[in-house]
Structure 1
Amino acid sequence: MILIESVLGSRLDPALADRLHHLEHHGRVDVLTLPPGELARRRFRATSAGGKDVAVALSRDAALYDGAVLRLDDDGALVVRVDTQHWLRLQPRSIADALELGHHAGNLHWRVRFGGEAMLVALEAPADDYLERLGSLVTERRVSASVLEGGG
């Protein structure tokens, strides 16, 4: 198991980039791919692309991000990659439906953003789980839904 207690810096930092480049040529850079929702967590376990068990225990002031270097020594490196965020686009048909949709999303603590008149919900579970929670808003077609990949 690899214990990670700090972030060394970004893979783009000149001081780290040259060493990473050298290790990449020798096949010694492992990747820890995380869903976007995991980046805010400070303590968790995951498995790297190379099959290594990784335990992350970061201080409150440390932050994970795409390209964060977690380990870098002569034996190899471990770099964070972030999966593509999928979004559930919810389009209410009326102001009343929009208010009810906002009420549900707030009570359920969904991570949202807005695109025009649509609400975009960051998917951290299957889209059907979210749609089921919305109940009659979806079944009565008061809110239409579609899944978007990437920036939304």
Structure 2
Amino acid sequence: MLRLHGIIGRADDRTYAGRLHALEHRGGIELLFVPPEDAGRRRFRLTTDRGTDCAVSLDRDEQLVDGALLHLDSDRAIIARFGEEQVWRLRARDPACALKLGWHAGNLHWRVRFEDDHLIVLLDAPLDTYRARIQPLLDAGEVVERDRV
């Protein structure tokens, strides 16, 4: 379990932009999705999107906000996100289409995981932003959208 005490700053702060960008390229950004019922609490325990068990404690004068930077070192950063994790489930029509989809997901630096023959895209922005990037694959029926969770 990783103990996180206090808020370092905000993920969109220019002070951290370079370090966070470098970590993003190395897969070192972890998101801690904080459900609404925990958003006002001072102490809670949750697991990041990459499986890190975190015990979070905040001082009385700190207010957790969406995008709060809770941990930053040379290997990873942990950023708080409010609400439930949003994902987009995709399935390629055949192996050749799967290669195209995989190329796009990698080239666009999408955070993904795999479940059976589905590519699960972890959404950090509105779904339409992601959909626009692979619209030709969707229009051609090479990739099929399953459900959005």
TM-score category, normalised to shorter length = 0.5 to 0.7
Counting only pairs closer than 5 Å after superposition, residues 64-75 of structure 1 correspond to structure 2 as 64-75=64-75
TM-score (norm 1): 0.53
Q: Deviations over 1:20-56 (max 9, x none)?
A: 1110011001110011231110011111111111001
Query: Which residue matches 1:10?
Result: 10
Q: Deviations over 1:79-127 (max 9, x none)?
A: 011116xxxxxxxxxxxxxxxxxxxxxxxxxxxxxxxxxxxxxxxxxxx
Query: Which residue matches 1:59?
Result: 59
Query: Gaps spanning 5+ residues in structure 1: where?
Result: 85-152
Counting only pairs closer than 5 Å after superposition, residues 110-149 of structure 1 correspond to structure 2 as none
Query: Which residue matches 1:21?
Result: 21
Query: Which residue matches 2:42?
Result: 42
Q: Which amino acid aligns with 1:82?
A: F
Counterpart of 1:80 in 2: which secondary structure?
strand
Question: Matched residues in 1 for 2:25 and 2:36: separation?
Answer: 28
Counterpart of 2:20 in 1: which secondary structure?
helix
Query: Gaps spanning 5+ residues in structure 2: where?
Result: 85-149
Counting only pairs closer than 5 Å after superposition, residues 80-119 of structure 1 correspond to structure 2 as 80-83=80-83
Aligned Cα root-mean-square deviation (Å): 1.1
Query: Which residue matches 2:76?
Result: 76
Moved over 4 A (4+): none
Query: Which residue matches 2:33?
Result: 33
TM-score (norm 2): 0.54
Question: Matched residues in 1 for 2:64 and 2:18: separation?
Answer: 21
